[in-house]
Structure formats: structure tokens, C-alpha cells
Amino acid sequence: MPRTPSLMEQLSVHVKHGDHICVVCENAEDRLHAAAQYIADGLRGNEFVMYAADPATTLTLRAMLSRDGIDVDAEMARGALNLPAPADAYLRDGRFEPDVMYAEFEAAINTALDAGFSGCRFAGEPMWALERAELRPGLIEFEARLNGLFRGKKAAGLCVYDKNAWPADVVRDILRTHPVAVVDDLVCKSNVYYEESGAAEREASAERQVDRMLSHLRGLRVHETRLEVAIEAGRLGTWEFDLHGGAAACSARHDEIFGYDRTPPGWGYAQLLAHVLPEDRDHVRAAFDVAVHGGGTCRVECRIRRNGDGAVRWIELHGRVDPPGTRGERVQYLLGIIADITERKEMEHALRDTDRRKDEFLATLAHELRNPLAPIFSALQLLQLQHGGNAGLDRMHGVIDRQARQLGRLVDDLLDVSRITTGRIVLRRARIDLRDALASAVEAVQPPMDAARHTFAVTLPAEPVWLDGDAARLSQVFLNILSNAAKYTPPDGRIALDVRFEDGQVLVEVSDNGIGLEPHLVPRMFDMFVQGSRAGDHAQGGLGIGLSLSKQLIALHGGSIEAHSEGLGCGTRVMVRLSTMAGASHSPVTQATPRPLAASGRRVLVVDDNVDAADTLAASLRFVGHEVLTFYRGKDALAEAARWAPEVAILDIGMPDMDGYDVARGLRALHAPIRLIALTGWGQENDVKLARAAGFDMHRTKPVDLADLMAAIAQDVRAAVEPD
């Protein structure tokens, strides 16, 4: 556990210009250690120091300072250190006159500052007032007046009182006159008895009052110590800047972060800013300015160049003005904490790099999966064209088609999850009829439901359900939900899709009487990679991402999704709520008419290093009446294109000798009136942009729907490019 700093360490951190500290000690050792630390820190900070003490104390202090590396004689010779006897410092002709002493202290401060010292420190042991009780009221008055003098100048004061030597009423009154008190080995920065001078007066005697005051201050300091332990455990540094030119008070951890053994002389906001890298300084200045002029707080992350080794480190600063609420020129201090966050920043960078590599892996995985799917689809569609009408073959074709499409959907889901978690997915919003999105999902899920002999009841409103949404994404959501219901409902089970209005929203409910959910899984059903039971006859597999993706897509639409299940064997209900739009005056959506596969024959160039993909696509195109040339290398295709003059080119992107982008540029240079279609396994948003930049009119990911491709080929080659 971190240790509590010693009194000397606390004084080194806490003393700053404007402070007026009283040390109430019970033994000479504490008193002398406090005095030596106070003097040494002042001299190291190029301050003028005066300490009034009796000859024996002065001799001991000189020895302690020498052991601490201070050349006392040299400091006295240059006028930085003055060690007068108490009577010489405070008494004039045996009298103590507060007004005279105040004027002399003020003059001494001005002289020291004019001589180039960074500030002043005064200290003393007014033992002369012990034997002369008539001088004590003037001493108390003088101590109280010093608070104003020190606050207005670059000065601080340390007054040492032996509790056992002084009368209790003097100790009590001294505690009331000093904003900062040192009790035992604890520095109490907020002396409540200075702020509330009558707080202890209900005690009968001065002795009882002093005991209560010291006990209370010890208790308050325990709470401060706990905070300091927490700060140290969190490896935080503390700092206080005097915005009007005084010295800063910084902790050892603060100094360590900046590469110093102790706070450098004259350290402050300007010195901190000098360590900040030039490119980060403007936003550091802006954060501090907002705090000072707004009377509030600042938080800023920046990079610094550390002293000594020159290492660049990331730091985080939190600060606030003191006194709280003051603004502008009235702000005396800015104080706060500092943390070295270099490790955190490095981890964030590593996480971003890992995330980038994960996205690259998923994109590559999608490309590698789509490439074999392309010839499967092309071959299947060609077989359907050539042998349609044969019931047995049609059944087999349907099986292959459904399973291949499911593979395609899984690939798309993987990529969509990556896009959503990184905030890169964009909805293509339009005014849509929800019933159309549902119809598309129902059509896609009907074959597996029919194969399992599910009873599927669909209840839709008779009127359009207008939404501001992305029809394709909503269809994807409901297909995921319906596919899940079909997957986990045994043969001959029941599934229902019901759409109704509740509280100004549309509610889409999918229910089934399938295997249901274990109670502990219901709250986590929409978490990534969470799956239901795999035991027994209901082992279904899947990636566990479809419902998570659905939840995120619905959230992007401003809706909500939830699930309910009474337990295993009790089925599941999934409910989606979406906001509707008023649409009574909206004209009905025009239904798209089926597109013919055949078109007037065009000269089509197919280029793909995947031989199966190129050959099966070419065979399908020839079957519907197009003239096709097939190449497996980009350079070969360009050489022949100069002679053959194709009207349409369908190009793969990732080819070994010349990628599809270069082939497209070459074709565009040879034949301006040519329609260029990218047909590739690369389907990220950036891939589409690269295709546009290379001159492609269209970008399609593998496997492609033959009807969609035929429609693209049939367009006039002079038609505008496909919109983004």
C-alpha cells in the first residue's frame, strides 16, 4: 500500500506563495525538520529566505542544511539567506510594534523581488514573547495581518510553535490566524478554525479548546490522507499554478512524469506548455483559457517531451480554478491532477490496429468465400435455364440455390457487423411501405419453412405502413428473425408473423412454438455470438450474429427489439417496434415488373482469373444471346479488346498480372462508349469508391443475380453511371 508522505515531503509539495502556515509541534526534532525543509526548498527555488531563531537552533539548522546539499555561507553571501536572532528581527529597543514590523516585511519583499529573487519565505520562532506576556496580543495581531500581505505578494510564511512551551490561549489564537496548519506530521491545507474562528469556544478552558482543535484537524487530515493515498495508488500527480507569477506546488509524481527529480524553479503554466509538443499546444491553451475565463474546469490530453531522455509521453490533465467560481483576472490559482496515459494510448492504438486488421481479414474472407460462390450460382442459373420444368431437377436446383444464398447472407452479415460496430454503415432511407420489406423476407424464408412443413400464418394491415427507413436493411432484419424461428422450430411446428399498431408505433411480432430459450439466455439473446441450445435434435449451428446485427439495424432506425420465452420447449416471441409516418396522401409504390433475361445481343468481355467463374458466367450470357469473349488475364483482355471493340466489359478486380482497375482504365482509353461492370468478391464501401475512380459504371459483388446482371448489360452504353 502506498505510504503517507513525510512532513518534509508534504511541505515541499504544499508550500506556495500566499501560504501562511503554523506548525504546532511537541518536540524539537519535528520543528527543526520542518524548518530545514522549508528553507532548503525556498533556496532551491531562488527565493529569499529569512528564518529568525536562537543561536543553538540556528547552528543545528546550518548543519541540517549542509547535509541536504545547501552551501549556507554561499547562500548568505549572495543575500538569499538571512538567519537573524529573534530579537534583532522583531524587536526595536525591546518593543514589538506590529505596524513597524509589517512595513519592514513589505519592504523586504519588494527589495528581494527587485533583486531578482523569485519570491520570499519568512519563518521564525517568536520565543521572545514567551517571557513577556504583554507582547503576545501584538504578535497575534501581526500574524493575522500577514495573511493579506502574503496573498498580495510573492511570499509565504512559516511560524513554529511548541505546544508544550506556549500557553494554550496563545496556541488557540495562533491556530485561528493561519489558513494552513501543521499538526503532528500532517499538513492541513484547509484549517477550519481559520475560516470559523469561534468553532471551538464551547469548550470551557483554552487547554480543552486546543486539544479539541488539534484532534479535529487530525481527523480532517486523515480524510485528506486517504485521498492522497488514492491519488498515489492511481499514479496521479497533483499540481497548483499561481497564475499571477508565483511558484507552483507540484507532487513528486507530477515531477516524475515530466522527467524531473523535483519541481524546477519557476515552474508554472508557461513551463508546462514548453514541454507540450508544438502541434498540441493550441488545444491545451484553449482548454486552460476556457477554465480560467469561464470559472470552471478543464480536461485535456496532449503529448509532452520529457526532460532528460527526451521521450514523448501522452498525459491527461484535469484542472479547476481556485477559488471556485472566480473568472478571468480574479482567478488566483489553477489546480488539478495529471496522469501519464501513454500505455493507454498505446493500447488504444493497438486495438485500432487490431480492429483494422480484423476488418481486412473479414473483407478478405468475404472475397475468398464469394469467389467460389460465383461459379456455383452461374452454373446453377444456367442449369435452370437449360433444364427448367423437370420437377426432380428443379427440387435439386432449389436446394443448391437456398444453401448458396444462405452462405452469401452469412458473408454479408459478417461484414455488416464490422461496419456497424465501427460506425461505417449508412442507411439508405426512403419513404417505404413496411409490408414490402416483410414480403421480401417472407419470400426468402418460405422454402425452408415449406421443407420443414411449418404452418406459417401472416397477418398484415390492409393499408400501407409508411416508414422512413432502409427497405433492404429492414428486410434483412425480418429475414434474420424469421430464419431463426424456422431454424429452432421442429418439423410441423407453427410460426406466425403479425403486424399491428400500438401507441403510435407499428409492432411486428414473430412467434413460434419451437424449442424456446433458457431463462439465462433471454436477456443476452441479442448479444454478439450468443446462441441457443445445441443439444439433441436441435443442434443448428450458425454464427450467432444475425440477431445482434438485427438489433443494431433496428436501433439505427430509431426502433427497439426484444424477445420473450417462457423457457425450453415453450417457444419464442420476438417483437420489433418502429415509428410510422403519416402517408394517406402518398401515392402507392409502383411494383417492379420482372426483368427479362434475354436482351438484344451485345459484345461482352468477361475477365476473371477464376476460370470456373469466368466460364460459367460466359456460358450463361451466351445462352441468352450475347456474344462473349472470355479471358483469365487482364493483359490478354486488353490486347484483344483493341481489335474486338466490346460494348460491355465484366471485370474481376483481384487478378495477378493486372488488376481490374488498370484493365478498366485501359478499356476506357481504348473505347469511350463501353459499359464497365466490376464483378468482384471485394464489397467494402472503399472498394466501391475505388471502382468509381477507375471508371467503372457499376459495382457488383459475387455471386450476382443473373437477372440483375442482364438488366445492367441491356442498358444503353451511353447511359449515366450508377449513382452512389
pLDDT band at 97 (very low <50, low <70, confident <90, very high): confident
Beta bridge partners of 187: 182
Question: In this predicted structure, what is the pLDDT of residue 693?
Answer: 92
Least confident of 153-157, 342-346, 544-548: 544-548
Residue 261 CA to residue 239 CA, distance in Å, equals 15
Residue 386 CA to residue 623 CA, distance in Å, equals 8
> How far from each other are the two terminal CA atoms of the chain, in whole angstroms?
61
Instruction: Compute φ and ψ for 224, nearest 5 degrees.
Output: -60, -40
Residue 166 CA to residue 246 CA, distance in Å, equals 33
679-683 average pLDDT score: 83
Beta bridge partners of 560: 577
Q: Is residue 258 pLDDT above 90, yes or no?
A: yes
Higher pLDDT, residue 648 or 24: 648
Grid cell, residue 626, equals 450475347
Reduce the DSSP state of residue 322 to 3 states and report it.
strand
Grid cell, residue 337, equals 491532477
Residue 11 CA to residue 30 CA, distance in Å, equals 12
Residue 169 CA to residue 472 CA, distance in Å, equals 85
CA atoms within 13 A on the CB side of 277: 13
Tell me the per-residue pLDDT of 530-541, one tens digit each, with 9 for 90 and over.
Answer: 555 444 444 444
Question: In this predicted structure, what is the pLDDT of residue 190?
Answer: 67
Q: What is the mean pLDDT of the chain?
A: 81
Tell me the per-residue pLDDT of 55-74, one tens digit each, with 9 for 90 and over.
Answer: 888 999 999 999 989 999 99
Residue 158 CA to residue 24 CA, distance in Å, equals 11
Domains of the chain: 7-201 (3.40.50.300), 236-340 (3.30.450.20), 352-389+596-724 (3.40.50.2300), 430-579 (3.30.565.10)
Grid cell, residue 487, equals 431454424
Question: In this predicted structure, what is the pLDDT of residue 594?
Answer: 44
Residue 571 CA to residue 514 CA, distance in Å, equals 4
249-250 and 236-242: which strand pairing? Answer: antiparallel
Q: How far is CA 478 from CA 437, 441, 455, 499, 599, in A?
A: 8, 6, 18, 12, 34
Higher pLDDT, residue 153 or 570: 570
C-alpha dihedral sign at 662, 663, 665, 670: positive
Question: In this predicted structure, what is the pLDDT of residue 518?
Answer: 81
Q: ω before 323 within 30° of 0 (cis)?
A: yes
| Residue linked to cell 403479425 | 498
Q: How far is CA 296 from CA 215, 284, 323, in A?
A: 34, 15, 10
Q: What is the pTM of this model?
A: 0.47
Q: Is residue 660 pLDDT above 60, yes or no?
A: yes
Beta bridge partners of 572: 512
Question: In this predicted structure, what is the pLDDT of residue 541?
Answer: 47
Question: In this predicted structure, what is the pLDDT of residue 3?
Answer: 45
Asked whether the beta carbons of 663 and 674 are under 8 A apart, the reply is no
Helix/strand number for the chain, H first, E second: 23, 24
Question: In this predicted structure, what is the pLDDT of residue 2?
Answer: 42
Asked whether the beta carbons of 433 and 589 are under 8 A apart, the reply is yes
Considering the chain, what percentage of its residues have pLDDT values greater than 90? 30
Asked whether the beta carbons of 441 and 479 are under 8 A apart, the reply is yes
Tell me the per-residue pLDDT of 283-292, one tens digit each, with 9 for 90 and over.
Answer: 999 998 888 8
C-alpha dihedral sign at 432, 433, 439, 441: positive
Least confident of 226-240, 384-398, 661-675: 384-398
Residue 558 CA to residue 578 CA, distance in Å, equals 7
Task: Kindly give the interhelix angle for 611-623 and 342-387, rounded to the nearest 10 degrees.
Answer: 40
Neighbours of 278 (CB within 10 A): 8
Asked whether the beta carbons of 684 and 415 are under 8 A apart, the reply is yes
Q: How far is CA 193 from CA 124, 179, 201, 209, 615, in A?
A: 22, 8, 11, 11, 93
Triad 77, 83, 86: Cα angle to 5°: 150
Residue 180 CA to residue 147 CA, distance in Å, equals 11
Q: Which of 131, 143, 54 has the alpha carbon at shortest distance from 98?
A: 143
Residue 234 CA to residue 227 CA, distance in Å, equals 11
CA atoms within 13 A on the CB side of 479: 22
Q: Is residue 598 pLDDT above 60, yes or no?
A: no
Gyration radius from the chain CA atoms:
41
Question: In this predicted structure, what is the pLDDT of residue 501?
Answer: 92
Residue 441 CA to residue 473 CA, distance in Å, equals 10
63-86 average pLDDT score: 92
Question: DSSP label at 134?
Answer: G
Instruction: Compute φ and ψ for 652, nearest 5 degrees.
Output: -75, 160
Residue 268 CA to residue 139 CA, distance in Å, equals 34
Residue 679 CA to residue 140 CA, distance in Å, equals 92
Residue 434 CA to residue 466 CA, distance in Å, equals 6
Residue 346 CA to residue 360 CA, distance in Å, equals 21
The long-range contacts involving 543-548, CB below 8 angstroms and separated by at least 24 positions, are 543/410, 543/413, 543/414, 545/413, 545/414, 545/417, 546/413, 546/480, 546/483, 546/484, 547/480, 547/481, 547/484, 548/417
| Residue linked to cell 459504371 | 697
Higher pLDDT, residue 308 or 357: 308
Q: For every residue of 526-539, which 3-state class applies, written as one string?
A: CCCCCCCCCCHHHC
Q: Collect all residues with Cβ–Cβ distance below 8 Å to 47 and sequence separation of at least 6.
A: 80, 112, 117, 118, 119, 120, 121, 247
Q: Is residue 584 pLDDT above 50, yes or no?
A: no
Grid cell, residue 362, equals 473479414
For the beta sheet containing 627-631, the strands, ordered from the edge strand earlier in sequence to the opposite edge, are: 627-631, 603-607, 648-651, 675-680, 698-701
Choose from 306-320, 326-340, 356-370 the range with maximum mean pLDDT.
Answer: 306-320
pLDDT band at 185 (very low <50, low <70, confident <90, very high): low
For the beta sheet containing 120-124, the strands, ordered from the edge strand earlier in sequence to the opposite edge, are: 81-82, 48-52, 120-124, 155-162, 20-25, 180-183, 186-188
Question: In this predicted structure, what is the pLDDT of residue 550?
Answer: 86
